[in-house]
Chain A
């Protein structure tokens, strides 16, 4: 094993884990997508030397992500798909992106995001899409905790 980390920890839980243990988490894998950008948590983790990883970068297509007008328009400018714009935005924030597809063409598309750079303006336009709300569920919702731990 080369590194250990956590997933779905919010900054307060990370701070607690670090306070009482010796090894700092190398990684925290959390939901990061244009609707739930972790605008507070990502910089906090980076300041602590914890690498953020993004699960569900496309929000599994919820909220019509793949036809979102802002993302579509940005994609047109760079000759890239909405998915590529989103993955580029994740990586450009210094976050590791985990994309899933069972289609080889999509896999190729999703890996082809390191040859262009989004302008500050376009990065900011995506930042403006944040709703600071999970596209799925809150790890702080007691009903969800009860369901998951049942």
Chain B
């Protein structure tokens, strides 16, 4: 899969598999597994899609090594503030059953996006990968 280098050197596969509106849990899990089997190595979800758990289940079932797959999730707008970003990041990681995220996005341009951004800068700078004990 062709990749593009981001401004911090991280490489992202140019084609990703999005799971927006795959709300049926079993269908979502199967779709992500099918996508991985098809060759997708980039999965795009969001807290608001309410299927991070199913994405996590599929990633685990796939047996893919963590560094072979690029995973994105997003912070929903009701939590777009400093504390919200810190807390929701942990919750998303837990649902995805991952030690780290490849990409975390502020989902919508509303709320205290500057506060949320500073929390995300700190998580990034701290190399905060694993959920807080």
Q: Which residues of A contact B (CB under 8 A)?
A: 1-10, 13, 17, 20-24, 26-27, 29, 49-51, 53, 55, 87, 91, 94, 96-102, 104, 107-108, 110-111, 113-114, 139, 145, 148-149
User: Beyond A1-B124, A6-B105, A50-B7, is A149–B35 a contact (Cβ under 8 Å)?
Assistant: no
Bound CA span A145–B109, Å: 10
User: Beyond A17-B113, A21-B121, A26-B10, is A96–B4 a contact (Cβ under 8 Å)?
Assistant: yes
B103 interface contact, C-beta 8 A: yes
Residues from chain A with Cβ under 8 Å of B19 in the complex: 100
Residues from chain B with Cβ under 8 Å of A17 in the complex: 113-114, 117
User: Beyond A2-B100, A3-B10, is A100–B109 a contact (Cβ under 8 Å)?
Assistant: no
Subset of 25 A-B contacts with CB under 8 Å: A1-B89, A1-B101, A1-B104, A5-B106, A13-B113, A21-B117, A21-B121, A26-B10, A29-B105, A51-B4, A87-B15, A91-B14, A96-B12, A96-B13, A96-B14, A97-B14, A98-B17, A102-B27, A102-B30, A107-B38, A107-B40, A114-B1, A114-B2, A114-B14, A139-B108
Chain A interface main SS type: mixed
Instruction: Indicate which residue in A4, A7, A100 contacts B107 across the interface (CB closer than 8 Å).
Output: A7
Other 13 A-B pairs with CB < 8 A, given A7-B106, A17-B117: A2-B100, A3-B102, A4-B117, A21-B117, A26-B10, A27-B103, A99-B17, A102-B31, A145-B110, A148-B110, A149-B78, A149-B110, A149-B111
Bound CA span A108–B40, Å: 9
Establish whether residues A4 and B74, one from each chain, have CB atoms under 8 Å apart when the complex forms.
no
Closest 10 CB pairs of A and B: A98-B18, A49-B7, A26-B6, A100-B18, A4-B120, A107-B38, A98-B16, A6-B106, A104-B34, A102-B31
Residues from chain A with Cβ under 8 Å of B44 in the complex: 29, 53, 98
Establish whether residues B22 and A102, one from each chain, have CB atoms under 8 Å apart when the complex forms.
yes
Establish whether residues A8 and B15, one from each chain, have CB atoms under 8 Å apart when the complex forms.
no
Residues from chain B with Cβ under 8 Å of A23 in the complex: 117, 120-121, 124-125
**Minimum distance in angstroms from A50 CB to a CB of chain B:** 7
Bound CA span A108–B19, Å: 16
Residues from chain A with Cβ under 8 Å of B124 in the complex: 1, 3-4, 23
Establish whether residues A107 and B17, one from each chain, have CB atoms under 8 Å apart when the complex forms.
yes
Bound CA span A6–B108, Å: 7
B39 interface contact, C-beta 8 A: yes
Residues from chain A with Cβ under 8 Å of B74 in the complex: 7
B61 interface contact, C-beta 8 A: no
User: Beyond A4-B124, A98-B44, A145-B110, is A51–B20 a contact (Cβ under 8 Å)?
Assistant: no
